[in-house]
Structure 1
Amino acid sequence: MAFPLFSAFMENPSSSATAVVTREQFHTFHKIDRTLFTRLVYPLSRDVDQSFLAMGFLMMLEQSGYAPDLIASLCSLPDIVVDAVANEVSVCINLLFNHHYASTVLAANNDDNTIIPLLLRITKGRFTLTLINASRETFCTLLTNNWNDFCIRAFEDICEKVRKYNREKLLASEREKYLEELRNLRLGCLQQVSPNRNVQNVAVAYPLPPPPVGEEANKAAAVRMLAEEERAAKAAADDRTIFLTFSKGYPISEEEVRVYFTKRFGDVIGAIEMQQVEGEQPLFAKLVLKPSCALMMEEIVSARFKNKFTINGKHVWARKYVRKNILSASTSTHV
């Protein structure tokens, strides 16, 4: 894909100094890219970060001349084909950023028609596994540039909406799981009652909600139940939350954190909550692992539950998150 609007600004310094591309104009220019990205993360329910990288990769194929007008063409194809192409793109991205994965895949099977048949057809046989392996550094640089220069600004609002939707969906799922466990526990208590006794006259060990005695009582019971559900959901999320701290004077962005941990540990991030400050550098963040990746906690924070990483030359400390309100009275910080 060519970028005539922005290249014109670069060629004419005076115009770039006076002309400002607004967010709306930028979104309009990338309308087709935003359409495809939206399909990846909504109807196809693909991971946000992986779809982010996939769009940068597809842009790279266009820019490099391997597949002109690729993104526009994909927008006209059925979801099943778009999903299949995205799967092949994920394989290529893994080959680019993971040397061990690349050597394993290429040693086991170097047949392009088996691994990336659609991309091979789209690029008329020019984009191959061998080319990816031989030009890894070049492609990684192009992909990274697309990520920083175009994808972040073009898709950041869509990403935020998807992450908010996923957080709400996760909370609803954990709430439903808690209610199911509550129902099972109540049923288990009732089943333990002797069959020779009247169940209605037995005091069950687990406290059951009192019988409704009016509209106000029903409302109060509903409020208590909702509070219990929310506490349970928060506790479940806390068990897979990592507390990150940053060095003052070395600002680090959410995207830097997301890219680093995704490249190093894979698709493990459920959410990232940066410290909310006005006009200052965030000094900490909470990284919530996906439920399916909860076991990655020890690998990330190490057996000592404390680890140190370097992201773009800036130090980041990672520790197991502990909610303040469950710490002892003498503890005043996250430890």
Structure 2
Amino acid sequence: MAYSSSLFASPFFSTDSSLFEVEVTRDEFHSFHKIDRDLFTRLVFVLKRDMNQSSQVIAFLLVVEQLGFARNLVAYLVSSQDMLIDAVANEVGVCLSILYNQEYSSFVLLNHNNNDEVVIPFLKDLTDSNLTLSYINQYRETILVGVTKNLNDVCNRAFDDIYEKGYKEQLLALERAKVIEEMKKIRLGSPQQTPTRFSVQRQTPSWWNVQQQIPPVEEKAKVAVTETEGADNKEDEEEVTPADDRTVFLTFSKGYPISESEVRVHFTRKFGEVIEAIVMQEAQENEQPLFARMVLKMEYASKIEEIVTPMDKNKFTIDGKHVWVHKFFAAPSTSHV
């Protein structure tokens, strides 16, 4: 791939886009951008990051290369471990937020006192401390033009088949979540959730009870079974974990709306089928929910310690947006989920 220290000298910013269509085939274009495709694939399918945000990450990294801050940045990341790639993608997410939201840039610069070591330590190291938050904020319009052009001229063409595969997987994941939710509703709607000796007895065919009288021995046996079943039910009740004790409280950043499906897909991918219900804050059409409650399934109640950590709080990044997770504590008058 040819790189240039000048943003607009990049071959990706040619004003004659038809030149690519005439001279470069789809396979050739994919081959030319193999490194970019490899990084995008790892972001989406290995690190389970959002495709749209991952495209913007690649577009931003290409701008960093084209400006001469790190000429082989994408190739270096492809040869790196997933942990570094994920960390750099998170930092790029902050940079993109600065580009797209001037209020956010003021918030970051003001609260961190231009401390790039805290906000973008990996990008700072990879660019020999030349790329800074102040630079990104100062040249935001120029960088944003470069990101947009890279998205249109490179990413949309180089990743077209990967997009298709990713969207299919997302749809399958959402459909799977919907099917599981419907199965859960059907199961919760039935009178008995788990088979017991008593439930088996109730399902005994009607012809079994045609006798009008039960011998005394069988009567005593029936009483014994009932008493034993009562003890089993009591034991089961003792093992029930109240909903509040397996609920986590999620808070979202204002200006960065996130949907219930995004939350469900992220936590399902990370922790498995642990979610029983997600209750988003009720908001008007022109507003975004700022918090939600996520209830874990009974059998995964212990997972709450892993999600919120022993400090009873944690932070996740979902599609480039920060989500803070806390242990849920209900007020005495608050009803259960």
| TM-score, length-scaled by structure 1 | 0.56
Which amino acid is 2:2 matched to? Answer: A
Aligned residue runs from structure 1 range 248-287, under 5 A: 266=257
Confirm or deny that 1:84 pairs with 2:84.
no
Report the CA distance between 1:101 and its aligned residue: 1.0
User: Quick one: which of 278, 286, 295 aligns to 1:299?
Assistant: 286
Residue 153 of structure 2 is aligned to residue 149 of structure 1? yes
Q: Residue 70 of structure 2 aligns to a residue in which SS?
A: coil
CA distance in 1 between partners of 2:125 and 2:89 (Å): 14
Residues of 1 paired with 2:111 and 2:60: CA distance? 24
Q: Which residue of the partner structure matches residue 31 of structure 1?
A: 34
**In structure 2, C-alpha distance between the alignment counterparts of 1:65 and 1:9, rounded to whole Å:** 16
Contact 2:99 2:105 in 1 (8 A): yes
Which residue, out of 44, 47, 52, partners 2:50? 47
Question: How far off is 1:177 after superposition?
Answer: 1.6
Task: Tell me which amino acid in the other structure corresponds to 1:153.
Answer: R
Displacement of 1:175 in angstroms is 0.4
Residue 146 of structure 1 deviates from its aligned partner by 0.6
The alpha carbon displacement at 1:200 in A equals 2.9
Mapped to 1, the partners of 2:260 and 2:166 lie a distance apart of: 14
| Percent identity between the two aligned chains | 38
Q: Aligned ranges for residues 101-140 of structure 1 at < 5 Å?
A: 101-109=104-112, 110-140=114-144
Q: CA RMSD in A?
A: 3.7
Alpha-carbon separation, structure 2, partners of 1:8 and 1:148: 9
How far the C-alpha of 1:57 sits from its partner, in A, is 0.3
Higher relative contact order (CA 8 A, sep 6+): 2
Tell me, yes or no, if structure 1 residue 61 matches structure 2 residue 48. Answer: no
Long gaps (5+) in structure 1:
204-263, 272-290, 302-335
Contact 1:66–1:127 under 8 Å retained in 2:
yes
Size of the aligned set, in residue pairs, is: 216
Q: For 2:50 and 2:120, how far apart are their aligned partners in 1? A: 20
Rate the CA distance shift 1:186–1:43 in 2: closer, same or farther, 3 A.
Answer: same
Check 1:298–1:162 CA distance in 2 against 1; reply closer, same or farther (3 A cut).
Answer: same
- Structure 1 residues 297, 41: closer, same or farther in 2, change over 3 A? farther
Equivalent residues of 1:9, 1:16 under 8 A apart: no
Q: Which moved more, 1:58-67 or 1:179-188?
A: 179-188
Match of residue 183, structure 2, among 179, 182, 188: 179
Question: How big is each residue's C-alpha offset from its partner over 1:172-214, in whole Å with a ceiling of 9 and x where there is no partner?
Answer: 11101211221121135999xxx8xx623799xxxxxxxxxxx
Deviations 1:229-264 (A, max 9, x none): xxxxxxxxxxxxxxxxxxxxxxxxxxxxxxxxxxx8
Unaligned runs of 5+ in 2: 5-9, 207-254, 263-277, 289-337
CA contact (8 A) 1:33 1:55 kept: yes
Q: TM-score, normalised to structure 2's length?
A: 0.56
1:161 corresponds in structure 2 to 165
| 1:73 is the counterpart of 2:60 | no
Q: Distance in 2 between matches of 1:296 and 1:168?
A: 28
